[in-house]
């Protein structure tokens, strides 16, 4: 089994670590030149603020809803990322760091995978203040899907897919554009061939 640990709204969560008053508030973080939105709190997402959108197009939303806007602070984000990856490395034999806020873990020897993941998630939050979601499955792609479910539809923040019938069920529900590695070009090509779901 493989687990994917993914930090929730990572850059926003980093800002909240040092400014707890931002919790439950709409927050966005902008790219280097403050041009585009690269991280959003759930509250900002609920306002319809789009990921990657030019910031100037959302200025009216920022003003109307009192959205907190931050420039990137990669020194801060990098430091917190190192702390999280260090915790993961101390608790796992094999870890593959995928990005600043994601890592794959080898769960093949973990007996109680769900409980272990919940404990790991709790430790990361206690030691760094960063909330994470953990998806567990037999492949990296399925672990990505499990992580999406853990992040968006599961209060515990941990979700496991291990039953073949469940795999089919979730793949049938997942639009192909949401599948890891499928960009806009591939999405359009697949759709032209009648392929609309990950299944």
Return the active site residues.
102
Distance (Å, rounded) from C-alpha 105 to C-alpha 86? 13
**CB-CB contact of 82 with 95 (8 Å):** no
Both tokens assigned to 104:
């794959």
- Name which of 163, 114, 117 is nearest 138 in CA terms: 163
Partners of residue 159 on adjacent β-strands:
135
Closest CA to 3 of 83, 89, 114, 100: 114
Asked whether the beta carbons of 97 and 6 are under 8 A apart, the reply is no
Helix (H, G, I), strand (E, B) or coil at 56: helix
């Amino acid at each position: 089994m493989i687990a994917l640990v993914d930090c929730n709204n990572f850059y926003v969560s980093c800002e909240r670590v040092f400014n707890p008053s931002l919790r439950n508030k709409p927050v966005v973080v902008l790219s280097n030149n403050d041009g585009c939105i690269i991280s959003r709190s759930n509250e900002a997402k609920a306002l319809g603020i789009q990921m990657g959108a030019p910031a100037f197009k959302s200025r009216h939303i920022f003003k109307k809803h009192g959205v907190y806007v931050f420039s990137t602070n990669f020194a801060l984000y990098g430091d917190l990322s190192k702390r999280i990856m260090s915790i993961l490395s101390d608790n796992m034999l094999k870890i593959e760091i995928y990005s600043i806020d994601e890592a794959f873990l080898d769960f093949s020897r973990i007996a109680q995978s769900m409980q272990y993941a919940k404990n790991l998630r709790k430790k990361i939050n206690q030691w760094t203040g960063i909330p994470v979601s953990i998806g567990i499955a037999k492949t990296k792609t399925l672990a990505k899907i499990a992580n999406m479910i853990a992040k968006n539809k599961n209060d515990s923040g941990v979700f496991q897919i291990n039953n073949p019938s469940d795999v089919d069920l979730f793949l049938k529900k997942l639009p192909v554009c949401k599948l890891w590695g499928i960009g806009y070009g591939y999405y359009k090509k697949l759709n032209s061939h009648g392929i609309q779901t990950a299944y």
